[in-house]
Amino acid sequence: MSDLRFFLGLARPDRWWLRLGAALAALTLLAGIGLLSLSGWFITASAVAGLAGAGRAFNYLFASGGVRGFALGRTVGRYAERMVTHEATFRILARLRLWVFDTVAPLAPARLGRMRGGDLLSRVTQDVDALDSLYLRFVTPVTAAVTGAVFASVILAFLTPAALPGVLGTFLLASVILPYWAARTARQAGQDLTGEASTLRAEAGDLVSGLAELKAYGATHRIIGRIETANAGLVDAQTRLSSVSMINGAILALAAPLSFVLGFGLAAASGAAAPVSALAGFIAFALFEAAAPLVQAAELYGKTTASARRLKALTEITPAVSDPARPAPLPEGWDLSLKNVTFRYPETDTDILDGIDLSLPEGGRLALVGASGAGKSSVIKLLMRFYSAQGGAITLGGAALDALAISDVRSRFALVDQRAELLSTTLRANLRLADPDAEEDRLWDALARAGAADFVRRLPEGLKTWTGELGGLVSGGQARRIALARAFVKNAPVLLLDEPTEGLDETTEADFLDALDLWLDEDPRRSTLMVTHRVRLLERARQIAVLENGRIAAAGPAGDLRQSDTALKRLFPSL
């Protein structure tokens, strides 16, 4: 329950939408009770008046006008309530998704690396959507039910007090006891449904993302087997939940007419006239309209609490890095320095970097080379503040990197790596990840610099073109150009390149590097750190550092090392 209270607190900015929706739901229920009870009284009173020969004296206009008024009020109220409550829910869920992103972003990549992609996706989509039950099916129906019960109690207490205990007792059984029973019996099924759905999505995501490798090693049957197991668990949970729902539906279907009989019978037994007895019966019957949503919400209680718990768990993960209590001001200088830096990944005992020294002055072009696993990419992750070093010092413009705000540090860097990750959105949106306020002309200028403007113009929708899942609708070379253009849009003074031309053909690679050189030459203070094992990138470097087993084996001017260094020769025999 504490998890649900936490997410109710997140809805506070939209509380007036929720309150308005609850008020409209209550008014709609009251109009429904009024419509049904007045109609029952009207029909009964008309029949009694007719049998007594007093039909002409009976005031049909008053009753029929009331019926029409309640009918119109119920229709308008229901429409308005649906509009307001859905608007409130959409607003809250939109804010909740932003909250999830804000919570998860600081955890990337160090902490999220231990979480499966499909599971994370389930939290952002499935679990967030499940919380609409909290806002749409709990807050509003409870308010309406309480209002309806109070209204019915007042009317019955005034007209036929003898019917009040029976009507309210039956309603409490249907609106309190039955939902409690439903929540208890459906809780485990709802939790299992959430868990199995998440597992199924995670397994399916693993299958899709690693299909080529799984086929190559003949391991697809293992993942498929796990998918089938998760699917069987999901179907079983759905079946159990449906069984509870079916039983509850049957109980409600029997309880509603029973409440009518009880209300009518108790009123008649107390000596009330037939029209009043009919009114009491129909009040009891109409009141049950408020019980069904409470039972439905209770059936989803287990699923809702499980989703809330999974989302709340994200807040309990401590980020690998965090802002200092009092961040230092961002320095004017752009020069980088690593002195005696030691680093190991969390939960490991092996140092990836062991006391390395590196420097990248303003205007520098440093190539960092080494065998796979030597620690090259780890240097970039430290600079981007994805992780913190266990020893040594990293400075930017003379200021300690861990003394600066993370956002300030990352504003100085633009990263282009071999994955060239694109989001499943438009080209325009992908470019504006670097600067949301970038004008159209600036985007085209960046594309032109990266050699991508021509192919984007040839696309049917230009910058509005959808890139597809993980950028799958553009080629690898095009994705690299877009990633480079995004770096140009950011216009950061230090460009970090992590195998940016891996897998590109010679022509595309040459175009990529020419665009890079032109951009760097425009400002003599711009610098770049290139992690690579490609000779072409090495030729563009002014300084080279060779990493071996986490240590700097050699470092110096590119020309000198290309001529004589044996460590570099081992990596690049053709030099």
Residuewise pLDDT in 10s, the chain (575 residues): 666 777 777 778 888 888 888 888 888 888 888 888 777 777 776 676 665 555 455 455 666 777 788 888 888 888 998 888 888 888 888 888 888 888 888 877 777 767 777 777 778 778 888 777 777 777 788 888 888 888 888 888 888 888 888 888 888 888 888 888 988 898 898 888 888 888 888 888 777 777 777 777 877 888 888 888 888 988 999 999 999 889 888 888 888 888 888 888 888 888 778 878 888 888 888 888 788 888 888 888 888 888 888 888 888 888 888 888 898 898 988 899 999 999 988 878 888 899 999 999 999 999 898 888 888 888 999 999 988 898 999 999 989 998 999 989 988 998 888 777 777 888 888 889 888 888 888 899 888 888 888 888 888 888 888 887 666 667 777 888 888 888 889 888 999 988 877 766 778 778 878 888 888 888 889 999 998 887 777 888 888 888 888 888 888 887 777 777 677 777 777 66
Distance of CA 455 to the CA centre of its chain: 33
Instruction: Give which of 62, 68, 85, 80 is closest to 11, Cα–Cα.
Output: 85
What is d(CA 243, CA 265) in angstroms, rounded to the nearest whole number?
A: 33
Tokens 């939408």 sit at which residue? Answer: 17
Neighbour order of strands in the sheet with 353-360: 353-360, 336-343, 391-396, 399-400
Q: For residue 206, what pLDDT is reported? A: 76
Q: For residue 59, what pLDDT is reported? A: 57
239: tokens are: 């079946």
Domain with CATH 3.40.50.300 in the chain: 336-571
425: tokens are: 């959105």
Query: What's 2-190+239-315's CATH class?
Result: mainly alpha
What is d(CA 195, CA 241) in angstroms, rounded to the nearest whole number?
A: 14
Say which CATH topology domain 336-571 has. Answer: Rossmann fold (3.40.50)
Domain with CATH 1.20.1560.10 in the chain: 2-190+239-315
Q: For residue 357, what pLDDT is reported? A: 92
My answer on whether omega of the bond before 329 falls inside 30° of 0, hence cis, is no
What is d(CA 380, CA 530) in angstroms, rounded to the nearest whole number?
A: 10
What is d(CA 395, CA 256) in angstroms, rounded to the nearest whole number?
A: 73
Instruction: Give which of 10, 28, 179, 148 is closest to 88, Cα–Cα.
Output: 10
Burial letters 314-346, b for 16+ CB under 10 A, else e: beebeebbebeeeeeebeebbbbbbeebebbee
Q: For residue 361, what pLDDT is reported? A: 92
Burial letters 15-37, b for 16+ CB under 10 A, else e: eebbebbbbbbbbbbbbbbbbbb
